[in-house]
Structure 1
Amino acid sequence: MNEMSESRYERGKRKLAEIDGEVGEAVIESLADIAPDFARYVVEFPFGDIYSRPGLDLRAREIATIAALTAMGNAHPQLKVHIRAGLNVGLSRGEIVETIMQMAVYAGFPAALNGLSAAREVFAD
């Protein structure tokens, strides 16, 4: 199927699988019983619309996402998912650690420390 005839949902499911594999599907399935519409929105907007855009490759998008989630300081589960995604799209552990450390400058040491804790957990898996 070409991209022009794919629905946002179909495009999003394909991109989600490419980035997150089974972990991404598990996140979507975990929403099915409480908020199936929200699960669809997560597939359609971030993955069907944003991640599918040209202009940045998946490595760059995951660096930006890891940085943003680290800076938020309160998104530990989502940060772990995106650290795994970063590894899946070709980021090295070193690149992920450097991205998180860079956030100490803009988000503070506590946010960076929390991000490094998430990375340690993912790397241990």
Structure 2
Amino acid sequence: MPSERAERGMDILRQINPQSAQALFSELESIAPDLSRFVAEFAYGDIYARPGLTLREREMITVAALTAQGNAAPQLKSHIVGALNSGCTEQEIIEIMLQMAVYAGFPAAINGIMAAKEVFTARKANETDPA
């Protein structure tokens, strides 16, 4: 039985990126189910659920942090989707990447822009796909 924290976290995850949430938990469940629980309970059920910042603001911060790390492309793409689903615009995502050039370096910003381009392209393709 999932804890209240896990349920709260899963609700938030479903709001920002339902496909990614399901994929993450499906992949982790077979090898490290505790890790999926930690992500749901702590990252989303405790931290994302806190008052003080909107989901949009939290996603913008997360996109900046993952861009600065420079080694988390799958998570960055997932959170770019989450940022867009939370109300960010493509231009705001690009501005985040440009800001990261100053603080994380040009390679991190370029990698971030390329991840954003992949997400933007995929979203546009899905919008035009009649299926």
Query: What band does the TM-score fall into relative to the shorter chain?
Result: over 0.9
TM-score where L is the length of structure 2 = 0.89
The match for 2:127 is none
In 2: Cα distance, 1:100 partner to 1:59 partner: 16
Q: Displacement of 1:27 after TM fit?
A: 1.1
* CA-to-aligned-CA distance 1:74-116 (integer Å, 9 cap, x gap): 0011000000001111100000010111000000000000000
* CA-to-aligned-CA distance 1:6-38 (integer Å, 9 cap, x gap): 711111111111111122121111101110110
The match for 2:15 is 18
Unaligned runs of 5+ in 1: 1-5
Question: Please, which moves more after superposition, 60-69 or 21-30?
Answer: 21-30
SS across alignment from 2:49: coil
The match for 1:9 is 6
Stretches (4+) displaced over 2 A = none
In 1: Cα distance, 2:28 partner to 2:116 partner: 24
Question: Please, which moves more after superposition, 9-18 or 110-119?
Answer: 9-18
**Does residue 1:75 correspond to 2:78, yes or no?**
no
Q: Which amino acid aligns with 2:28?
A: L
In the alignment, which of 25, 33, 37 is matched to residue 36 of structure 1?
33
In 2: Cα distance, 1:105 partner to 1:78 partner: 21
In 2: Cα distance, 1:22 partner to 1:114 partner: 23
The equivalences for 1:85-104 within 5 A come to 85-104=82-101
Q: CA RMSD in A?
A: 0.9
In 2: Cα distance, 1:44 partner to 1:105 partner: 33
Aligned residue pairs, count: 120
In the alignment, which of 47, 50, 62 is matched to residue 53 of structure 1?
50
Unaligned runs of 5+ in 2: 123-131
TM-score where L is the length of structure 1 = 0.93
* CA-to-aligned-CA distance 1:55-87 (integer Å, 9 cap, x gap): 000111011000000000000110000000011
